[in-house]
Amino acid sequence: MKRKEIIAGLIGFVVCLIGLFLLNQFKAKSQYNNLDNLRLVNLNDEISKQRMNAIVLAAKKVGPSVVSITVIQTRIISVSPFNDEFFRQFFGDFFPEQRYQQKIKSLGSGVIISTDGYILTNEHVVSNATEINVTLSDARQFKTRIVATDKALDLALLKIEGNNFPYAELGNSEDLMIGEWVIALGNPFGFLLEDTRPTVTVGVVSALNRAIKSTYEERVYKDMIQTDAAINPGNSGGPLANILGQVIGVNTFIFTSSGGSEGVGFARPINVVKKFINETKQFGKIRPPWIGIWIQDTTPEVTEAMGIEKRGVLVSNVDRDSPAQNSGIKEGDRIVEINNEPVNSLSAWDRIIANLFVGDTLHINLYRNNDSLSVKFVIKEYQDASVLGSKLGIYVEDINLYLAKKYGLGYKQGVFVTKVAQGSIGEKLGFAPGDVILRIGETRIKSQDDFKRSVADFKNKYFIIDRGGLIFQIWLQG
């Protein structure tokens, strides 16, 4: 009996040892598995952190504020039965062109800039629109209205009704560096992709302060950001952002020979856009800025004739009672610097003043003969000057820089016809608004004063006028 008990005890002891051994082995494997799992989790977290770089975070920040813009435009389509100009010239009266209206849908992009639904885009995206619809990245759709547009800047401010919209933070385009990363967001090809979320492309700032003429419209863009981030059809109006997720430009157009992106895109700097936003929100439009300085390049011929150094740009004329004249600037001065930017050519001058608004302050360094001078003045809003009437029923205004640019006038002096009274002598003689009166009799007309003296006795006199580049002579017999 005792022997059996001893054998059973030994067997039980061995079983216990085996059980303890197996238990320890299981625990060890479990610990190893847990450790491996922990290492795998940490590795995945590290990879995720590396994937979540600054560009990804910036795109995630700006993306919800990017919208698709669908525009319905009505255009007049002309159809002629003759393709050849010869047949149109001789048989056009018998078979006139057929004209009809056609609705055309175009697409673009925009970016929400405030929680109450203000949207930035390009003017060319919404020009001639009869209907504008906006689709957010979350697929919500809204009808929108135009707050203001400006063709020269190619900017438009739109508004959708509502609150708590996702919006983008506006950055600073003054401290941009050539070579830094930028992100272009938009909706190329619109709903052809059947997705309302924006497309993201990445590149660098290729150049700054670019001036270029658009290949598809008669627009000259100045002081633009150049980037190689792909901008495709439908991207116009979308944001160009830095890696902080701040909008530093509005994508405007591409330079292309194929119709697609070739790595040469241009964006309007956001600091100019901010001025546009403030101006249009307050006044509903861009108030016309007035400086009053006529400028020309200091060519070798000019410098030799005047005995001056070839530096800066030459003031060739100053508008009467303009901010520039009131600050003391005179004809013959050479402007070498504006707001700490050197000015060595007419193109540099045009680039700087293209982005000036009413209320901006100009600090100008100039030379008068050999003396260095500094002047400062605030740009004012151009107000219609006093219009001078006459017995002829012709109303004229002095030509100034604002009128010259607005109407494409090639004269610095003269009077511009603003109105011709109905049934007046002037109307019967054929005068029309837009005419520039250059001479009356033997008198060269440089101002309203010259005009007033010359028409005091207008018998047996002739008028020399310019109408759109064509010179006319009108005789008045007393």
**Which positions are catalytic?**
124, 154, 236
Give CA–CA dist 263/268, Å, rounded: 16
Give CA–CA dist 14/12, Å, rounded: 5
Contact 126, 132 (CB under 8 A): yes
CA distances (Å), 422 to each of 419, 425, 431, in order?
9, 9, 11
Which among 140, 144, 142, 229 has a CA at the least distance from the CA of 185?
A: 229
* The CA-based dihedral angle spanning residues 410, 336, 361, 120, taken in that order and rounded to the nearest 10 degrees: 70
Which among 174, 172, 177, 153 has a CA at the least distance from the CA of 341?
A: 174
Give CA–CA dist 450/444, Å, rounded: 8
Sequence-distant (6+) residues with CB within 8 A of 24 are none
Give CA–CA dist 225/179, Å, rounded: 12
Q: What are phi and psi of 387, to 5 degrees?
A: -100, 130
DSSP symbol at 357: -
Q: Count other C-beta atoms under 10 Å from residue 421's C-beta.
A: 15
DSSP symbol at 97: P
Beta bridge partners of 397: 416
Rg (CA), the chain: 35
Interstrand relation of 246-254 and 169-170 (parallel, antiparallel or unpaired): parallel
CA distances (Å), 213 to each of 173, 218, 221, 232, 255, in order?
22, 7, 6, 18, 9
Between vectors from CA 222 to CA 221 and to CA 227, what angle results, nearest 5°? 80
Q: What are phi and psi of 422, to 5 degrees?
A: -65, 130
Give CA–CA dist 242/248, Å, rounded: 7
Q: What are phi and psi of 475, to 5 degrees?
A: -100, 140
Which among 312, 320, 279 has a CA at the least distance from the CA of 403?
A: 320
